[in-house]
Structure 1
Amino acid sequence: MKFRHKALTIKKEIFLMSFAFLATVSLVFSGVFLHILYRKNMENAGNSLRECNAQIVIYTEGMFHENESIVNILSRADTIVDGGSGNPAAVLKIYDAILKDNSNITYIYSGYADGRLYINNYDIPDNYDPTDRPWYQAAVASDGVARLVYEDAANGEWLFSQSKKLVDDEGNVVGAVSVDCSNELISRQLSTRYQYASQRSFITDLSGKVLIHPDERYINDTILNYMEKDSWDKIIAGKVSYGEYQKNGIKAMAYFEQFPGTDFIVCTAINAREVTQPIVWNMVHLLFMLAGLSLLFGFLLSRVLLYRFGGPILELKRRIENVVRGCPEEYREAGFYNAELNGIADSITIIVKNIAKKEEQRKEAEYTSFHDSMTGLYNRRFFSEELRRLDVKRNYPLCIICCDVNGLKLVNDVFGHDVGDQLICRVAESLAGVCRADDILARVGGDEFALLLPHTSGEDAEGIIARIREGFPAENIRGAQISASFGYGVKKKKEDSIAVILRSADQMMYRRKLTESEEMKQQTVANIIEASAKEGLVTELTEKEEHALEQLSAALCPGDEALLKQAYRLRKIGLCSLFQSNMKNEEEIMLSGINRRHTDNSYRILSASGEYRGAAGYVLHYTEHWDGSGWPAGLAGRDIPLLSRVIAAVDAFVSENADGFRLKQHDGWYDPEITALLQNLSEDGIQQESAPGVS
């Protein structure tokens, strides 16, 4: 019996041949390109490690040399050797002056044989004897400057110490002086020269023992636990500078360089995967791009050849299939160049007219059960049924676009669900405005929409998403920016699982949402601040406010002046949403009692933005009272954050009349020590001595 293979259509055969040819050429090109890219990336990585290591050696050598010079000078100073003749302040004054001029130093101290320890800003543990500490013992045992790494007895901090013994005029060892740099400080300085995310620099001795490392867990560990000893010996001998080692299952590329004249070695390493992974991703992207281009050119070529012959027949076939499925189209002129085909088209038109009326009635009956009441779009039930119906070969490629409204929870929390519903409807209108006749648009969840697009490729989907974004209205809703995140998946063949396609579209959407939702929140916060400024709720600081805040900050929280001013300016931003509820002014809001909610609104708004998140907590609690009668949490006394107390007091201070009526009338509301500072406020600043202990 003779079997016949399944015949290919002309359209498919031309397309497959075109695609095969273009794909072969593209693969050859991509192979050459990726080979060049691999060599270039490896060369760049090696150069980066070498340059970074050279900079670190120069920096670290200079720092160690400078600290060693300080130790030598101090060891010869009579004041240090005799311990200030019983006056520790004389010694500590010298140490303090050096610390102020040297940001690379963490501690300067001296220990003495009689158990004394002179050090600034350090809580000395009970029963502490400096003569028992490693730095002291190393200094006494060395004729020069001893270098070592040890763990601090008080806080467990790892320190790199350079110490030297103190010898009196009679040649007796009376103690030791040391200059320490914390492992954290040195590692932070080294990290400023990194060029790769996984790049790390550390320092070892000639035995491979780790002395300084960004991760303190590896201090006192040895590189020989992760590298072959033969490779390490070659590095020590100066035969090679590059090496590789394996740590925690991660392969690292490293460059080693020895400090001139020392037994220290600087190592700069990166995760080898960080170098090779971009090559893999470039290969994947290139292959996808080449596949897309091959598909595109193959499709164009087949369309040119079949335009006048296959196209009309396929159009008639599609119309007949629609009639068979009970989905006839509106009548339109066929416009074929062939008389026979026009005759067939006329016959199909008669059939369409006969069933059009019944089809209309069926659609009306289905409308209420398959549409969302708020937006008028299809609902999840209809979308699920259409997904099953369209999941057939003739509709491939079948594209699913998922859409999620950004910032809906923020809008609901701050403005209420009515405004959130307006945001959903506005997004629905924008989506509907760009949909084609054959597309299915449905609201499938509270803030989720989905589009079902037959005969749509991934490139087409990107174009559709771009048009949707352009169609979003420029105006906002009560400050809320209209924004949504999108993801898509395409089913190209029968074997693809539609559930997997839908899941991939969701995953793409949520990946994009991580960034786009945050951008929407940032813009929304900016819009609310702008609206608040127009309503007089956010204004530039007056001279009196500026002066009061600067003076209080200098006295109470020197490092938080900028944060204090920011929180003070934005303290009333939460009233903006209340003005939208027909409240005329702040006095009316105060009388209504709604003012007790405005700090909550301010907190929610500011917490949504990374720029203002630091001020949010202080704005939330600035309406707390010292006597506990405030809100929202009813905090009292020093349980109220310091900056919140300052904001409340300054707010009252700048709004009172000349005799301080408001501060005096409600003196139980405000921190009495801050109030005292404000009352002593003058053009020369705050009398800081009048308010000790404020925290």
Structure 2
Amino acid sequence: MSEKKRSIRREVFYWGLLLFFFIMVLFTAILIKPRFDRDIADARGSIERENSRINGYMESMFEETDAVLEELAGNRTVIDVIDGGEPSKSEALELYDMVKHMYKNVTHVFSGYRDGTMIIGGYELKEGFDPRVRPWYKAASQEKDRSVRISYTDSNSGEWLFSTSRAILDESGEVLGVIGMDISNERLSETLKSSYKYETQRSYIINDKRIIMVNGKNRFLGEDLVSVVGGLRPEDISGDEGEFDYELEGKEYWAHYRRIDGTNFYSVTAIDSEEVLCPILETAGVTAITITLCAIAVGLLQNRLLKKRFVDPFMELSERIRNIAEEKEETGLFYKFKNRELIEAANDIERIARKSIEDKERLLRASEDKYRKLVENLSRDYFIYILDKEGRLNYVSPSVKEMLGYTEEELLGGNIDFKGGQKIEKIEVEEDCTDTDSTVYELEVSRKDGRKRYIEVTEILLKNELGETYGTEGIAKDITDMKERQRKIEFLSFYDAMTGLYNRRFFEEELKRLDSERNYPLTLLYADINGLKLANDIFGHTVGDELISRVAENIKRECRKDDIISRMGGDEFAIILPKTEESEVSNIVDRIKAGLSEERVEELVVSVSFGWATKNKSGVPMEDVLKKADELMYKKKLYESPEMRKKTVERIVQRAESIGIVKKKLGESEIKLLEKLGSDMELGDKERQTLEKAYRFRNIGEIALDLEVLKKIGKLTDEEWKSVKRHPELGYRILSSTPEYSDIADYVLNHHERWDGRGYPKGKSGQDIPMISRIIYVVEAYIAMTEEKHYNGGIKSRDEVMEELDKNAGTQFDPEILKQLSN
């Protein structure tokens, strides 16, 4: 039976099916309405229960942070910060860091005090930052005996944060300050997302102004929920609990909201109505199948009844039209139509067909001329070819030379089959789903000069009027650049660009895959570089990146081929060790540490803290194994990180002494001058010792600068001078990193500040500059002019020096110190 005949029958069949289907749908709708209403009520109840579960999770999380803050607010380390100075601040920061790593949703633990002091780690405070004006401080100060929960935007990033804070009280009940925790919206979003029960579930946390603060998919943060979704009015969210419907991205969602106890926040859970109505749709599907089968039966019956009256005569007419198109002269053909109108139509179609054939031949010749010109001027990234049915190349466009290096003459007549020819290797085939005569290939080909290229080939079978294939026509496109970009994207999706190790995404996927009994015991090894921030602060991020790369190379060298080594971000690494007992890990760690001990990156001590845990059987949550390894690592880091900083500073001091940046022993004139001014300015014994120590180490920050610039005799360029002016700040970072030198760090930082405020690095002036720093500035200038030959103008006499210094009294130098110096 021909295709046209089948098409006529199909049309008759479809109309009968449609009529019967309409009747059956109407009948079915009357029957299933009660069932539909009952299922709707059950679905909404399911959404309410899911939202109550998430609401309970949020309430328990806030209760947990309340308990931690109550404990911290009474901790002596936190209370003593206001009077304890830098060592107490460091202890508090270590305590906060330990707490932050124990609670995955907490991004910062911090405390602000009534004197304006702010203690927070891993966060850059803006200049002039005052915690006493922040909303969390004000709120907790008013509620002395309980924790306060608020939402606010971060002063740096503008991100919405949940903050729980509590007042720090002295023994008399007066507010010393406020301690608080920030809960990251991003981490909270991940937690909510991981607990979803439904595939289309969306959970939000909003405030009483309907602003979205948390979304499991990290979308629409900071926006009004009413403006984000459709069909929702402000009055739809009122009271402590309720439900509403809305539209988003073309889908209808059913939602339930409930206030989180003790806060002005609401949890909102929404689920695509299609998902929760799945049982109803399944019932409707069964009904639809029944209706369809019945409709098909009716259609078949109608098709058979109409065949003789309509289909057969029409096919006879179709055969006559085909003969005309193929130029077969059959003018004596007798029409057996019982319908006179069909006979007249057949004669009209014959006349039209003959004229159409003549017009098409004329247009075809014009089209061939245009096509030939188009092909000859084709872009160098494409070429067109034609193969005969034996696969020989009959035609190829001139642009083939640009892509493959061959001329037309070299290829014509050759057996160049793009599905497996001698010059082209097939690597992938994809059938076109819309046309069985069209095929798409991606191929790796060799140019004439041997270079590899990737091309995409689209081929179409050429057929004659009888439907017989006589050849193939194709177009080839150069996709080499696209393939290279694709490879780079694939690499970056699973690998860390700096170290070449796997990234966090790959680690998490592999951990799920390897978590099976055939890999037990499965050990997780965490590693954290000690002192990376110190390296970045002192020597710059280039040295910090080198430190990360050296550590990565050592870990990779000492681990086995099947171990999964990943850089989790920043200074953290994680290694998955399949079939590895916990006792074996110590040997691996010892080998890594031995290799690291041989590394040298500037003056840094290369140190890494490790922690590990092993899963020996199923049933143990992998989250517990990860937590155990992480906690062990941070316990070790609490000891190893300060030790690393101490040894690094010792190395820096030794290096600075060896190249003359720091003197092992001060000169006699320097000591006398320091003692005189220390005494004249009424410094105590301990302060005079600190003065001498600070003077000795005042230039230690120059260790991180270019030695050639420091030795330069002539005038420095603007860029060189800008670099040299960094040394007080670099010295502060070095000295403040260890308790042995932290007492002089602030004096070194300020020893190039001028009395008139035009010094560096912070532009302090007058009495705001520490006395010891002002004395060091004067002594350094005096010694430079009286003893250092390379000083501008050479060595001067005492009278010349005092004359020079007096000119700058009250501008560059403290006039009172100069007055004591001249006596």
Provide TM-score, normalisation by structure 2. Answer: 0.41
Larger % of helix: which? 1
Answer 1 or 2: higher relative contact order, Cα 8 Å, separation at least 6: 1
CA radius of gyration, larger in: 2
Provide TM-score, normalisation by structure 1. Answer: 0.47
